[in-house]
Amino acid sequence: MKIGFIGHGQIFAKTLPQRLITAIKAEIESGCFSFTMGAHGEFDSLALQSCRKLREEYPTLQIEVVLTGLHAIQKSDEWDSTPYSDVSTVLYDIEEAHYKQRITLSNKKMLDTCDALICYVDEKAYRSGAKTAMRYAKRKGLRVINLYDEKDKPFYGMTDEEIAAKWKEICNNSPKE
């Protein structure tokens, strides 16, 4: 059994790290020890960080990172470390695709190898690669665990007036050039 991770590039949820650890632990306790994720957004980074942390408790955990190009593993100088030296990496044959489509193609190929998906996806988002990938997983019949909560939005529960006032405060407090 293999679990994939898909999520938005930016996340605002303070409680998401613990929710993610809890979800991964539940999958491990159900017998899954193989996890795969991309390398592009905050959710991908959080998934990798969580799996690495849990590998201390479960040393047989297999972690795989899907890359969309070799740039992700090239060292910038002799002091630079390779970011994925402690995990497996996969690079699908997608070089011919436009760079903007590589993440979408990689997500599909990754999900084709999975039995389930742990994701962080706002289904109301207008345009979202994460939402597209989650829908693909559902069409394929994967079990989908979506950790998104409406309360994660930065302005959750605020009126339009309160949001406008907050934006005004943010803009007035930003550094002037």
CATH number of the domain that residue 27 is part of:
3.40.50.450
Mean pLDDT of the chain: 85
The H-assigned helical ranges of the chain are 16-29, 42-57, 102-111, 129-140, 160-173
How many domains is the chain partitioned into structurally? 1
pLDDT on residue 175 = 66
Phi first, then psi, for residue 29 (nearest 5°) are -65, -20
Per-residue pLDDT reduced to its tens digit, 48-92: 999 999 999 999 999 999 887 665 555 555 555 567 778 888 777
Give the number of other Cβ atoms within 10 Å of residue 161's Cβ.
8
- For residue 51, give Cα distances in angstroms to 59, 124, 141: 10, 28, 24
d(CA 138, CA 88): 26
Q: Which residue has the tokens 């994967």?
A: 142
The two beta strands, 143-146 and 62-67, are: unpaired
Residues of the domain holding 61: 2-173
